[in-house]
Amino acid sequence: MSSNRKIFAALAVVILVALLVASCGPTAAPEPTAKPTEMPEPTEETVAGPVQGGHLMIAWETTFEDTMDLHRCTATASIALGGNVLDTLIRKHPVDSTYHPGLAESWEFSDDGLTLTLHLRENVTFHDGTPFNAEAVCYNFHRIETFPEAKGKESYALLGVGTFYEGCEAVDDYTVELTYTKLYANAIDVLTDNLVGGIHSPAAMEKYGDEYGTEVMVGTGPFKLVEWTGPQAEAIFERNEDYNWASDFYNHQGPAYLDGFTFKGILEPSTRVAALESGGVDVALVQPKDATRFDEMPGYRAWTMSAKGCGGLSINLVNPILADIRVRQAISHAVDREALLKAPLYAGVGEVMYASMTEALWGGNMEAEFGEYNYLYDLEKAKALLEEAGWKDEDGDGVREAHGVEGVDDGTKLHLVDQVRPYEQEEHEILQGMWAKAGIEVEVLVTDFSTRETLLFEGDFDIAPWPTGGQSFFVIVEEWKCDGLYNIGKYCSPRIDELYELSFATTDTDKHREYFREVQQILLKDVPTVPLVRSKIVWAMKEEVQDPAVDHLGEALYLYETWIKSEP
Amino acid sequence: MKRYVISRLLMTLPTLIGVSIVVFSTLHLIPGDPVQYILLHSSHVVKLDADAIRAQLGLDQPLHIQYLRFLSRALRGDLGEAIFFERPVTSVILDELPYTLRLAGLGMAFIIVLGLFFGTVSALNVNSWLDSALMAIAVSGLSIPDFFLAMLLILLFSVKLGWFPIVGPESLKILVLPAFVIGFRASALISRMTRSGLLEVLGEDYIRTARAKGLSEQVVVIRHALKNTLIPVVTMLGLQFGGLLGGAVIVETVFARRGIGYLAVKAIEQRDYPMAQGTVLFVAVFYVLLNVIVDFIYAYIDPRIRYD
């Protein structure tokens, strides 16, 4: 009998511990400063225009696994969210990529292009009350240059430490001179970037030392970071009441409208949708296929923004089959991009692309300039090109085989391996069907992110989804230069390398556009890539959320002009 | 007893070393490394110095050196510095642990309450429609994937009925759905165990004696039958608690919860070796220690099990 009592005692302890553990109150989960869905009191003005008030709860796919010290971090989340906390020295227009005053009101290069003088805005203060001035700017740049944790990171590379950057000098309180050892064509563009151009409070960085970024982030932006709590957690922001230095392309000056907002990372897309529908969040990043549904759902709407880059394929030119331009042209002609866009994956949200650089990447779609290099859907042309290249289906099994193709044994099947990530599988199975119609057998291999990247860098693929993403034309450098870091298909055009050299030798943005237009035309002619669809980022939100905007990276919401409309 | 405890604890060492070798080699055998993740996952494309980053992370050393370093540090309680969090692995784990423990704690409560209750009801109504229905639920509980159950519950209880929120500050209400999902499978197992155990015990002579003494059925079942059924169930409960930590991997991802399950997923995805090794090793140590504790409890409540 006594052993039975012990069993019950043991069981009781287990239950008690389980219940105690379960009911322990939260220790780290913060309460938002305002109720997540709190709406402003209705007033006369609310119907007419923006009003202050309200706290938005926003769900997106990225979690915050890194520090928010942008000088040392690598995470997209921190960089993108940082845009609400930091102002950059120069602003880039989110749509046309033109440069506008930010914390620097104006700037000019010296005649030799080796000195960039920035004239800073006066009467700007950091969130901690300390003044923004030339010394603060140089402090930031000096930290990137010397902080051991920043070495080798993006901020370090972008500023040009060890390559272009020489130093920063505060000429007077509001004038900064940046000097370079050689001409740095990217000098202006990096100052629009949160990583380099975003200026942090020197006092805060001094105070927190190595801990800066894990607890606090202090800038001059329209919102202050209140709290940020680890992975799968939240970042909470509140309005900076002193803010009065927005760039000239915004519709208003002065503080932001929202009292604040909370970013909540939710990886699972269906959970984000459920969170929005159940009212737990006000705005959620959703998949394109959900756009129509939210547009039709009472009380909600979908808001889309084109991605900066274009989804496409990289082709491995090392493979002798693909070294023949006619095969690459056939691969591109066999793709019915309009049909692809209509597939459930995109649900018609986005635009078909025939050239890989979007207008945001300086090239534009350039339909007028396609000339003979248009890759409109033309199955017959695809088949004819393959026949001409020696790929014929003589055994009638639907897959072509080689007949006198250079470097390929006769009878070899036209079989290609497409290395994709799990979320790309659906799209590539559609493409697989399209290519099959032209007699090209494509095997879609699905692997996880890291595995796939290794295979691609080792050249273990024939074709692979490879977007031309990013926010500046320097992205393209590493993709298409002969020795480019991201040139996985080993395509090489001496003229493209030459155009890059020319681009780096000038800071004139008109020249950059001209050179990159030519790069675009060479890419169209040589087909080392097959552009597919420029997707759209879809945010679904409650109807009352007004004027959302995306930062210049096209990734995170920039909420300076966003406001909440109350019920009429 | 002391000798039993010491020898039992020493026996866990080979298990843990085995776990550490498996975790370490699996992570390093699969393609990809954190440097490539840094290169590709950064929002900008600039030429970062991959070799410098690799050297900074100690990934340029031969694998056996990396393993021995990891092992010698782990023995001193130092799991290294997480690459992406830029903090000691132990401190990241300890930050996230309370969230998982709360989830597992309530999950455990579900297992005990649902498992024992439904198992007993089933046994007392053996071969009735109620028994069949409950066991059908138990079988479905054992076979339904966690993520599918999670989505069904979210759609019904959060979206349609609005009873339980998905996001918001940590509270009992927000814990209910994930805890139910995490505990459902084990509660099905426990209910089946309770049912079969109880059926066996109810046929024993001493139960017949108890009934012959004129005791009410309630007293017979609760005080005599159930108590004896619980010995194997208690063992299983201990092990299930360890299993809950593993289940947290899926549940925390679907419900967007903080915790070590989600931490493990992110760490493996990013090939954050110290973080992934540390998290898995931590869960393994937890599980092994729980096993040892269950053994001790078992030996304590059932003296037939000899310490030597």
Nearest CA in chain B to A16: B109
Quick check: A556 contacting B, CB < 8 Å?
no
- Say if residue A15's pLDDT is above 60: no
From the candidates B39, B166, B228, which should be mutated to test the interface with A, based on the most A CB atoms within 10 A? B166
pLDDT for A32 beyond 50: no
Split at pLDDT 50, 70, 90, the class of A258 is: very high
**A21 interfaces chain B, CB cutoff of 8 Å:** yes
Shortest Cα–Cα distance, A171 to chain B (Å):
30
Angstroms from B121 CA to nearest CA on chain A: 19
Residue among B105, B227, B262 whose CB faces A19 most closely = B105
ipTM rounded to 2 decimals: 0.72
Length of chain B, in residues = 308
The residue among A503, A469, A516 whose CA lies nearest residue A186 is A503
Among chain A residues, the shortest Cα distance to B183 is held by A18
Q: Is A328 on the interface with B (CB under 8 A)?
A: no
> For the residues A375-401, what does the mean pLDDT come to?
92
Residue type, A370: F
Four-residue CA torsion sign, A64, A67, A73, A78: positive
pTM score, whole prediction: 0.74
B48: nearest CA in chain A? Answer: A152
Q: How far apart are CA B142 and CA A299, in angstroms?
A: 39
**Per the CB < 8 Å rule, is A450 touching B271?**
yes
Strand partners, A227: A236
- Cα–Cα distances in Å, from A113 out to A88, A110, A174, A473, B227? 21, 5, 21, 19, 87
pLDDT band at residue A368 using 50, 70 and 90 as cut-offs: low
Residue A535 phi/psi, 5° resolution?
A: -80, 175
Residue B214 clears pLDDT 50, i.e. is over it: yes
CA A151 to chain CA centroid, Å, is 23
Q: Looking at A245-254, B210-219, B251-260, which range is the least confident one?
A: B210-219
> And the tokens for A214?
């894990």
Residue B44's pLDDT is what? 45
Tokens standing for residue A556: 């995170």
Q: Report chain A's mean pLDDT, rounded to a whole number.
A: 82
Q: What secondary structure does DSSP assign to A153-164, as a single string? A: SHHHHHHTBTTT
Is the minimum CB–CB distance between B161 and chain A shorter than 8 Å?
no
Q: H or E element: which one contains A99?
A: strand A99-101
Q: Is A23 exposed, middle or buried (0-12, 13-18, 19+ CB in 10 A)?
A: middle
Other beta carbons within 10 Å of A90: 22
> In sequence order, what are the beta bridge partners of A285?
A539
Q: Is B36 on the interface with A (CB under 8 A)?
A: yes
- The C-alpha of B217 sits at a distance from chain A's nearest C-alpha, in angstroms, of 18
For residue B265, give the amino acid letter. Answer: V
- Say which DSSP state A132 is in: P
Residue A227 near chain B (CB below 8 Å): no
- Cβ distance A65 to B270 less than 8 Å, yes or no, reads yes
CA distance A393 to chain B (A): 37
Read off the pLDDT of residues A165-219 as tens digits, 9 standing for 90 and up.
999 999 999 999 999 998 888 888 889 988 899 999 999 999 998 778 877 899 9
B277: closest CA of chain A, how far (Å): 17
Q: Does B31 touch chain A (CB under 8 A)?
A: yes
The type of residue at B14 is: P
In this predicted model, which residue has the larger pLDDT, A378 or B55? A378
Q: How many angstroms separate the CA atoms of A545 and A541, rounded?
A: 7
What is the DSSP-derived secondary structure letter of residue A37? Answer: T
Residue type for position A522: I
pLDDT given for residue B48 in this prediction = 58
Alpha-carbon distance B113 to B122, whole Å? 14
CB B156 within 8 A of CB B202: no
Report chain B residues whose CB lies below 8 A from the CB of A29.
169-170, 258
Query: Which H or E run contains A352?
Result: strand A350-352
Residues 145-174 of A with CB under 8 A from B: 149, 151-154, 157-158
Position B179 scores a pLDDT of: 93
Q: Which residue has better confidence, A504 or A293? A: A293
SS3 for chain B is: CHHHHHHHHHHHHHHHHHHHHHHHHHHHHCCCCHHHHHHHHCCCCCCCCHHHHHHHCCCCCCHHHHHHHHHHHHHCCCCCECCCCCCEHHHHHHHHHHHHHHHHHHHHHHHHHHHHHHHHHHHHCCCCHHHHHHHHHHHHHHHCCHHHHHHHHHHHHHHHCCCCCCCCCCCHHHHHHHHHHHHHHHHHHHHHHHHHHHHHHHCCHHHHHHHHCCCCHHHHHHHHHHHHHHHHHHHHHHHHHHHHHHHHHHHHHHCCCCCHHHHHHHHHHCCCHHHHHHHHHHHHHHHHHHHHHHHHHHHHHCCCCCCC
Task: Answer yes or no: are the C-beta atoms of A530 and A314 closer than 8 Å.
Answer: no
Q: Hey, is A525 helix, strand or coil?
A: helix
Q: How far is CA A305 from CA A1, A41, A352, A550, B85, in A?
A: 71, 30, 15, 8, 31
* Radius of gyration for chain A, computed over Cα atoms and rounded to the nearest angstrom: 27
Min Cα distance B204 → chain A (Å) is 16
- Average pLDDT score, chain B: 83
Q: Is A233 on the interface with B (CB under 8 A)?
A: yes
* Residue A312: its H or E element: strand A311-315
Confidence of residue A24 (pLDDT cuts 50, 70, 90): very low
Contacts of A17 in chain B (CB under 8 A): 105
pLDDT of B177 reads 93
Encode pLDDT of B29-83 as tens digits.
776 677 766 666 554 444 556 677 777 777 788 888 888 888 888 888 888 888 7
DSSP percent split of chain A into helix, strand, coil, nearest 5 = 35, 20, 45
Q: Do B230 and A7 touch (CB under 8 A)?
A: yes
d(CA A379, CA A373): 16
Backbone angles phi, psi at A286, to 5 degrees: -125, 175
Place of tokens 């003494």: B213
The owner of tokens 């049912």 is B195
CA distance A416 to A122: 60
A and B: number of Cβ contacts within 8 A:
226
Phi-psi region of A424 (alpha: psi -120 to 50; beta: other; left: phi over 0): alpha
Please check the confidence at residue B228 and state whether its pLDDT lies above 50. Answer: yes
Confidence at residue B221, expressed as pLDDT on a 0 to 100 scale? 82
Q: What is the pLDDT of residue A232?
A: 53
Nearest Cα to A353, choosing from A413, A304, A309?
A309
- Torsion angle defined by CA atoms of residues A379, A382, A388 and A389, in that order, rounded to the nearest 10 degrees: -140
Which pLDDT score is estimated for A42? 40
Q: What is the CA radius of gyration of chain B?
A: 24
Residue type, A358: T
What are all long-range contacts of A81-84, with beta carbons under 8 Å and residues at least 24 apart?
A81/A235, A81/A263, A81/A556, A82/A194, A82/A198, A82/A217, A82/A219, A83/A194, A83/A198, A83/A221, A83/A551, A83/A552, A83/A553, A83/A556, A83/A558, A84/A221, A84/A222, A84/A223, A84/A237, A84/A556, A84/A558, A84/A559, A84/A560
Q: Which two tokens stand for residue A370?
A: 């396609």
> Rounded to an integer, what distance in angstroms lies between the CA atom of residue B40 and that of residue B54?
14
What was the pLDDT predicted at A361? 58
**Greater pLDDT, A217 or A473:** A217
Residues 6+ apart with CB under 8 A from A268: B253, B254, B256
Question: Considering only alpha carbons, which residue of chain A is nearest residue B258?
Answer: A232
So what's the pLDDT on residue A370? 65
CA gap B90, B279 in Å, rounded: 9
pLDDT in tens, A499-539: 888 887 887 878 877 888 888 888 888 999 898 888 888 89
The number of angstroms, rounded, from the C-alpha of A217 to the middle of its chain's C-alpha atoms is 21
Which residues in chain A are closer than 8 Å to B56, comparing Cβ atoms? Answer: 151-152
Q: pLDDT digit string (tens) for B108-120?
A: 999 999 988 898 8
- 51-80 of B, contacting A, C-beta below 8 A: 52-53, 56
Q: What is the pLDDT of residues B61-76, one digit of tens each?
A: 888 888 888 888 888 8
A1 three-class SS: coil
**Whole-number Å distance between alpha carbons of A165 and A187:** 9
Asked if the model's pLDDT at residue A1 lies above 50, the reply is: no
Average pLDDT over residues B267-283: 84
User: Are A278 and B39 within 8 A, CB to CB?
Assistant: no
Cβ proximity of A334 and A440 under 8 Å = yes
The dihedral built from the CA positions of residue A341, A344, A349 and A350, taken in this order, carries a sign that is negative
Range from A152-161, A284-293, B32-41 carrying the lowest mean pLDDT: B32-41
Q: Residues of A429-438 as b/e, b for ≥16 C-beta within 10 angstroms?
A: bbbbebbeeb
Query: Among A99, A77, A83, A307, which Cα is nearest to A196's?
Result: A83
